[in-house]
Structure 1
Amino acid sequence: MNLQEMNLREKVAQLFTFPAFASALDEDTRKLVTRLKAGGIFLGTSALIRPRQVGELCRDLQQASLEEGSGIPLFIAADLVAGAGCKLREGAVHFPKNRAIGAGGDEALAYESGRITAEESLAMGVNFNYSPVVDINNNPLNPVIGTHSFGEDADTVSRLGRAVIRGYQEHGMIATAKHFPGHGDTHVDSHEALPVLPFGRERLESFELAPFREAIRGGVDAVMVGHIAVPAWDDSSLPASLSYTLTTGLLRERLNFQGLIVTDGLSMKGITNQFTLEEACVRAVQAGADILLATVDSYEQAESVLEAVVTAVEQGEITEARIEESVRRILQMKQKYRLTAEQYQFPDISTDRLNSPASQRISRALADQALTPLRGLQRGVLAGEPQEQPWILIRDEHTAGFAERLRSGLPNLREESAPSYEGTLALLSELPEDARVLLAVSHNKPMGEAFTEAADRLLGSMREGLWIHFGSEYDVRERSAPCLLAYDRAPSLQASAAAYLLGEEKVTIVP
């Protein structure tokens, strides 16, 4: 179907990406595709379990769209920000998060992570990745970006962001630079409220916008606009995602971005604290968005938000030309990525192409480069240890992979675990002062000073205390205990951390 053959409702439907409601094609999700004729489907965590399951869901979605829906293949999107395996329970490569990649700084390996993510995603039928994050995280109090960012400076984020984008797009998957115009130097989570970038234009131009400018120069095909107010550019304090000044004036016109503008999830409280989902969808189209990530929780709500945009056109609040402008971009992008009825090929759902030893070596090489020893912690500190004074590992349950790998090299290791990092304090406090202690904790957001100060104090009171930190650098920078900083709890980082302590060689990749 081409633009001339579509009626108004079918045109509007191409702008909508709705979530899949289940891990298999249920009736309500099917109706999003066949009755509403949506242009895209988003796979959240509940729809991402195993490669074969994802492949079957994607196949069924595309078949429904081609045979009973719009006749056009769907954008099938996911937030695979750390590899196809980061959201699956098993079966694909889970890479270190961007902050770890940033610590290593290797553009070639960053590109390879993008390539492997694209190949594994497409093997399952996912063709649109809402990644990479190109926000510059220079605010220790940021509750949401953190280790999703490549780092604290514009050059690191720009270089590595471009490398990952090339890896995705040169291997057939649409990349999305996010969260425009920059969510790094904020201290509010837009899932909960509306963050504000309070800086002047000069600072915003030279800092926040720099990685987006570079991504656009590098040919990124989508940019996600965040729910962030920027008074220096729009004194109405509208979220950027609903602001014509920011979405069209700044991104489309000033930065000359010609690709797809995608909204962040429109049910986030940064939006819904002010607007209904229906109002938000209308305002996002008026602002200039091409794809509305309408994170509805029912078919009825999906029908309601689509109807709201159709009605806005019929009543003259949005011109039909504005809708057609976005549909044209969408169809051109689908053509570019072979998402047409004539070109589309269903994935063969072969899991043999996923999680290969070669791909796992790339992940491990990234992890080995990322590890950052602090305060004199040396490689091999646990190698050749005498048996009479065993180390005690205190850890949370998310570091089981690290513990398993460590046990293989320290057979007399003692171990105690808690359900989460908070529970490790009680275990530490019960140990005698002559203990030799390894503390391994993980969290995907800053832990807070109360925990980190207490943990540092307890480790300092022991005969020996080492901290292995699978979390934010801001938790451990100002502490005193020797520390191995691993940034996040990806399996490869857990294996690398154990190997470092045991004195094993790094994994190297020969070009």
Structure 2
Amino acid sequence: MSRFLSKGDKRMQGTSKKGLLTDRETIMVEESKESRARMLAELSLEEKVGQLFAFYLNGEEELPRARKAAGEWKAGGIFLDMGILHNPRQVYELTAELQACALEEGSGIPLFLSADLVAGAGCKLRDGGAVHFPKNRAVGEVGDAKLAYESGRITAEESLAIGVNFNYSPVVDVNNNPLNPVIGTHSFGEDPERVARMGEAVIAGYQDNGMVATAKHFPGHGDTQVDSHYALPVLPFDRGRLDRFELAPFRAAIQAGVDAVMVGHIAVPSLDPSQLPASLSYPITTGLLREELGFRGLIVTDGMSMKGITAQFSQAEACVMAVLAGADILLVCPASTEEGQAMIDRVTEAVRQGEISMERLEASVERILDKKAKYGLTRENFRQPAFDPVKLEREDNQKAADELARRALSASNAFTVPSKEEAPASPVTLIWDRQVDFFAARLRGRAEIRREHKLDSFAELPGFLAQCEAEEGSWLFALTHNKPIPADVLAALDRFAAARPGKVQLVHFGSPYDLAHLSHVPALLLYDRAPSLQKAAADYWEGIR
């Protein structure tokens, strides 16, 4: 029973329900184990190897390879990246096609269809159509476990409605490093206890409602200054610090029953002196995560095409190393069909030659089949439901996102909003990033705007400010970035404000760490550019609290 729900809530009868099994349930569990043992024995080597792979799909041009992966390569999963996610009906039709391919041409076992829906089912849909929640930093600032659970519940229900059953979320990295170039507002914050508590709530929200959750990026990517997409970060801390800080939210997630953990491409010399990425390290993946922390679920690698891996190894070679380290699911992104085939062939050959033992391979396949059975992804139980748009972007679900946004909004540096009486005499020049068009549109008619200028991105700001040195009046800037904005950009804004005391303000849809560079700019902090946060900011300006 989830501790984030009231006793009378019917939604509590989800997959994370705990307690003693009845005699009938015990019999069903044993029968299910026997069934999966028979299935494992019936799978060919190629089918067993295929179950380990989750192939990236990031655009229509990659669809033929995805079909081949689900069919001929017998893949166990497909990861849907932003380039293939347009709108709910399109995603539903895509997932239905891929499942049919796996069932009719592939292994006959339904696919894990995964995505990185860290801020709701709508956060990666190009055309919208599902709820887009504020990112984790905003959720962490609110600190309400019940509301965090609701965000997970709604995300799970909407994701399943479009065919996505496995979420590579939540991020439970503790981001205390202002210079971290990649985690930023994906993290619930800089306090391990709060990150753990919010992570537990979101995990329960996903899994109670039928979607696999993934705690990432083990053993912790928060206190790094290198992005593992481009190089190999190193965590230089001793074991005591790791236990107190980085590992704390992962321990909590494991104790809460999370079904998957993603291991990052991060070197940790105190855990493995070889400085292999954690994803390829037996001492970290098996020794620490599997054995010491007692994790019994699915271990997923981060994307194997990231430079944290490919700067040293080919994806094919890294796949073998990851399996030997203890990974169950290999998240791979081949540049071509030939490279994809090479990865499958390399792991298959490693088993044939005894480099990877059959026992090691089958241990992962058995875990995969167990989790697929838990979530109804078996030949016998899987049925693709009809597409039902009524389940998406419901008004009551959108209200949960709006409530999170309103409560996350915080004022700092004495940000002031003109009263309705003052506004006509205080027109402002509005400068905004195109990614917060929604905010600018809602502000029109609510604020007295003298003139406007839209930037293509924050990077254009210093050049624009240089052209405005002689201009007077009041200025309102609306900027966004999902990573830290470079210090030189913020310094240019601060100099501009210093020359106009009391005349420059910022609505910041980004990292709280950016505000340390702004001693002369009162700022309204939103953490993220989710539509609900843009709406909350416009409402705040109008005086709606």
TM range (shorter): over 0.9
Residues 209-358 of structure 1: pairs in structure 2 closer than 5 A: 209-358=247-396
Query: C-alpha displacement at 1:499, in angstroms?
Result: 0.9
Question: What SS is found at the alignment partner of 2:152?
Answer: helix
Where 2:478 maps in the other structure, the secondary structure is strand
Please give the per-residue CA displacement for 1:293-326, whole angstroms capped at 9, x wherever unaligned. Answer: 0111322222110110111111111101100000
Q: Secondary structure at the match of 1:224?
A: strand
SS at match of 1:84: coil
Q: Which residue of 2 aligns with 1:476?
A: 515
AA in 2 matched with 1:477:
A
In the other structure, the counterpart of 1:184 is 222
- The answer to whether the Cα contact below 8 Å between 1:25 and 1:60 also exists between their aligned partners in 2 is no
Specify the SS of the correspondent of 1:172.
coil
Secondary structure of 1:211's aligned partner: helix
Deviations 1:404-438 (A, max 9, x none): 11113125453111111122334344165541110
User: What's 1:76 paired with?
Assistant: 113
Asked if the contact 2:52–2:364 (Cα under 8 Å) also holds between the matched residues in 1, the reply is yes
Report how far residue 4 of structure 1 moved. Answer: 0.7
> CA deviation digits over 1:61-96, x for unaligned, max 9?
111111111111000000111111111021111111
Describe the superposition over 1:253-296 as per-residue Cα deviations: whole angstroms up to 9, x where unpaired.
00000000000000100000000111100000000000000111
- In 1: Cα distance, 2:392 partner to 2:498 partner: 44
Residue 44 of structure 1: aligned partner: 81
2:100 to 63, 88, 91: 63
Tell which deviates more after alignment, 80-89 or 215-224.
80-89
Counterparts of 2:207 and 2:227, CA distance in 1: 29
SS at match of 1:424: helix
Deviations 1:180-204 (A, max 9, x none): 0000000000000000000001000
Q: 1:87 to 1:385 in 2, by over 3 A?
A: same
Q: Secondary structure at the match of 1:476?
A: helix
Letter of the structure 1 residue corresponding to residue 296 of structure 2: Q
Partner of 2:8: none
Find 1:53's aligned residue among 81, 84, 90: 90
TM-score, normalised on structure 2? 0.90
Question: Which piece of structure 1 moves more, 420-429 or 220-229?
Answer: 420-429
Match for 1:141: what amino acid? L
Q: 2:539 aligns with which of 489, 499, 509?
A: 499
Residue by residue over 1:428-475, the C-alpha shift from the partner in whole angstroms, topping out at 9 and shown as x without a partner, is 441655411101111111112111111012123225111111111111
Which letter maps to 1:494?
Answer: Q
Q: Is the 8 A contact 2:424 2:448 kept in 1?
A: no
Cα displacement (A) at 1:488: 1.1
Aligned structure 1 segments of 4 or more residues deviating by more than 6 angstroms: none
> What amino acid is the match of 1:19?
Y
Deviations 1:3-56 (A, max 9, x none): 010111111110111122544994332111111110000101111111100000
- How many matched pairs? 504
Q: With structure 1 as the length reference, what TM-score do the two structures score? A: 0.96
The residue number in structure 2 matching 1:509 is none
Q: Over residues 202-222 of structure 1, what are the superposed CA-to-partner deviations in whole Å (9 max), with x where a residue is unaligned?
A: 000111000000000000000
Letter in 2 for 1:18: F
Alignment of 1:372-383 (within 5 A): 372-378=410-416, 380-381=417-418, 383=420
Structure 1 residue 362 displacement after superposition = 0.9
Q: Say yes or no: does 1:406 pair with 2:406.
A: no
CA contact (8 A) 1:112 1:167 kept: yes
In structure 2, how many angstroms separate the alpha carbons of the residues matched to 1:294 and 1:47?
16
Equivalent residue, structure 2, for 1:465: 504
Query: Residues 411-422 of structure 1 correspond to what in structure 2 (within 5 A)?
Result: 412-422=449-459
Corresponding residue number in structure 1 for 2:34: none
Q: Distance in 2 between matches of 1:23 and 1:173?
A: 25
Question: Which residue number corresponds to residue 133 of structure 1?
Answer: 171
**Structure 2 residue matching 1:454: 3-state secondary structure:** helix
Distance in 2 between the 1:247 and 1:172 partners? 26
1:396/1:423 contact within 8 Å kept: no
Partner of 2:64: 27
Q: Secondary structure at the match of 1:188?
A: coil
User: Contact 1:32/1:299 (CA < 8 Å) preserved in 2?
Assistant: no
Distance (Å, rounded) in 2 between the aligned partners of 1:428 and 1:238:
46
Change (3 A) 1:385 1:356: farther
Structure 1 residue ranges without an equivalent (≥5): 506-511
How many Å separate the matches in 1 of 2:469 and 2:422?
20
Deviation at 1:245, TM superposition (A): 0.3
Counterpart CA distance in 1 for 2:395 and 2:266 is 41
- Percent identity, aligned pairs only, is 57
Q: Are the structure 2 counterparts of residues 416 and 382 from structure 1 closer, same or farther at C-alpha, using a change threshold of 3 Å?
A: farther
Corresponding letter in the other structure for 2:407: Q
The one-letter code sitting in structure 2 at the alignment partner of 1:444 is: N
Q: 219-228 or 408-417: which moved more?
A: 408-417
